[in-house]
Amino acid sequence: MRLAEGLGLVRGARPLLGTFLRPRAAVGAAAAAAAAPAPARARSQALVYAQHGEPARVLQLKDLERAELGHSGVHVKMLAAPINPADINMIQGTYALLPDLPAVGGNEGVGQVVEVGSHVTSVKPGDWVIPADAELGTWRTDAVFSEESLVKLPRDIPLLCAATLSVNPCTAYRMLADFETLVPGDSIIQNAANSGVGQAVIQIAAALGIKTINVIRDRPNLQEVVDRLTSLGADHVITEEMLRKPEMKDLFKKVPKPRLALNCVGGKSTTEMLRHIQQKGTMVTYGGMAKQPVTVPVSAFIFKDVKLRGFWMTQWKKDQPQNKDRLTGMILTLCDLIRKGQLTGPACTQVPLKDYRIAVEASMKSFISSKQVLTM
């Protein structure tokens, strides 16, 4: 579905200036029909931005005409949609993927199918669905989407787990699966371990028997964060400062040096993690919170033959255009971990859509420990 259709901005084609001659009665009937008011289109509410800028300034809650269902449309009532850093960056105009404007914010969330077109076969009314890709525009009460843009989700998992499933847990799963062949007893190291991806990495790795070394920034409530990550299954939680100390040698007497490093920060944190990676290990960068370049010592390439890779979940999905089964299979695997209690959603604060300004402001604060989720 094109964005303009989702916003209700597409109008039917204008009639031709000339018309064929018709019998007078037919012309009269046609004129009467034309004069009758068209039935009102159903409307929904959505958070829309018509220009890039700071979210508090450019986001507006608007009433939109809902697109017609047609033969292949799926009418979805959104239930919950989180606010992720990428959503903020899109609105600011600094993200790698920018939708045409005006656009509805939000790339993740869960909704319930209300009605389907006659040609739709993969979902039915009552099903839960999540976006198959980015740019769907999930910060809205409801909309008509194309069948191809949705993935069916089991309904036996918690709502907030469903709403936050398609970005962070999927990113964590792919990075653990696609870059190194890890086996039980291996270890990985990651910075930004308190992030949504970091928490998912801890839990998925624990389920696979993989040890995690988790690096976080020092903060006033440090022990609270350490306790939370440990409760999720973290084996070791250290600060950025500890990462640079000689005492790290003692840690590696308890756990093998990591074969995989996951970087969401950049700058000095990246350089320090590389010092501890195994020979021929891999570092995957999926974020740059410090807004500093990844600096790699020449010795890491020459003497350790490390590999540097990048990962972007959106690109991974785009690389699977004819292989939706692979995406669905990953989603079902993650849902199975959720059912077993091996994967939980992040700490969340639910905020009604009408109070979006509160949620957006909270999501942009430093050291935020709760994900803001808009509820409809």
Report, as residue numbers or ranges, the catalytic residues: 95
Euclidean distance between CA atoms 132 and 152, whole angstroms: 9
Nearest in space to 84 (alpha carbons), one of 17, 143, 169, 189:
169
Instruction: Write the DSSP assignment of 251-276 as a string of letters.
Output: HTTTSPPPSEEEESS-THHHHHHHHT
Euclidean distance between CA atoms 211 and 186, whole angstroms: 6
Is 234 in contact with 214 (CB distance < 8 Å)?
yes
Instruction: Write the DSSP assignment of 152-186 as a string of letters.
Output: EE-SSS-HHHHHTSTTHHHHHHHHHHHSS---TT-
Euclidean distance between CA atoms 140 and 120, whole angstroms: 22
- Give just the sign of the alpha carbon dihedral 173, 179, 181, 184: negative
Euclidean distance between CA atoms 249 and 116, whole angstroms: 59
Nearest in space to 172 (alpha carbons), one of 346, 44, 25:
346
Where helices occur in 209-309 by DSSP H, the ranges are 222-232, 240-243, 248-251, 268-275, 298-302
End-to-end CA distance of the chain: 22
| Exposed / middle / buried, residue 106 (Cβ in 10 Å: 0-12, 13-18, 19+) | buried
List CB contacts of 272: < 8 A, sequence separation 6 or more. 240, 243, 244
Tokens of 129: 């669905």
Tokens of 154: 């089991």
Tokens of 241: 């400062």
List CB contacts of 223: < 8 A, sequence separation 6 or more. none
Is 284 in contact with 310 (CB distance < 8 Å)?
yes
